[in-house]
Amino acid sequence: MNKHGRLADFLQARRGLLRPEDVGLRTYGERRRVPGLRREELAMLAGISAPYYARLEQGTSRNASREVLDAIATALRLDESERVHLHELARTPTRGRAAPRPRPERVTPATGALLAALEGTPAVVLGRRSDVLAWNSRGHALFAGHVERGRPDEPGRRPNMARQVFLDAHTRGLYADWPAKARAVVGNLRLTAGRFPEDPLLAGLVGELSMRSPEFAAMWADHRIVACDVADYEMHHPTVGTLTVTQQTLQSPQGTGPAVVIATAAPGSPSAAALSLLAQASGGSETVRPRRGAGSRPT
């Protein structure tokens, strides 16, 4: 689907999530055929004409100004990440130029040095499609200790964390609030799809997960955006028991390179002690690039 089709889908889905009472509109008890705001109601809230907004939802208008998009974002009550995503979807694609073939993602020397410096902290390097490009020993032990740790830097043999979260029972069982983690994964994939709408590997991943996981399909369909920069998760780890970690994603300002995900616990807490115990149980200190394991597919 082209970018403007995704814009139309996004607008329709987000409009459907708002009820008249959410935005202070009175309905006088009339019956509605579908939930959510009507197009003309959303247009009124945004201060634009209903026909123009209808063209945006139908994918037939491609010249929305930043001011119009901001007005629509405000009417839809989008947060900052969702607002940025809306602008990404509305950008006019370059004409007459074929989409470039995706380049294999690699860990740069600078990112490798950062990962090595973080050896005392669980850390994983993720590509833009959530492929595991590398991890240190604690990162492997915390997030995917049941997957072979591996070493080869082969794109077709990489675990993929989105597949792990939705399709792997072990990973699913790690999170006490699995739906929150799942929504964060879907939200990040949504952001990536907005930046790279013509990435065939990303489209293939979304298609596969939609076919194999009804829960992913439902979350993908509602077009919610969750920028997972910092989040606390209670985890039930089979080796060290229950612990609460803060997962932080370190991303380049452009959002185009690999991201480093680290997990920390409050100093002196039982969770910090559990992470220390996990380090002793996992052993080793080298940074590795993973072999293919549960949830992996060619990328």
Task: Tell me the mean pLDDT in the region 214-229.
Answer: 85
Q: How does residue 283 score in pLDDT terms, banded at 50, 70 and 90?
A: low
**Rounded Cα–Cα distance for residues 102 and 114 (Å):** 25
pLDDT in tens, 14-40: 888 888 877 777 765 566 666 788 888
Q: At residue 94, does pLDDT exceed 80? A: no
Residue 120 has what pLDDT?
Answer: 85
pLDDT higher than threshold 80 for residue 226: no
What b/e string do you get for 281-291 counting C-beta neighbours within 10 Å, with b at 16 or more? ebeeeebbbbb
- What are the boundaries of each domain within the chain? 3-90, 109-282
How high is the pLDDT of residue 292? 45
Q: How many other C-beta atoms lie within 10 A of the C-beta of residue 103?
A: 6
> Strand ranges (DSSP E) for the chain?
123-126, 132-135, 230-237, 241-250, 259-264
CATH 1.10.260.40 fits 3-90, yes or no: yes
pLDDT score recorded for residue 299:
45
pTM of the model as a whole: 0.76
Q: Cβ contacts of residue 96 below 8 Å, gap of 6+? A: none
Q: What is the mean pLDDT of residues 89-114?
A: 72
Tell whether domain 109-282 is in CATH 3.30.450.180.
Answer: yes
Task: Compute φ and ψ for 66, nearest 5 degrees.
Answer: -60, -40
What does the pLDDT read at residue 142?
A: 93
pLDDT(246) > 70: yes
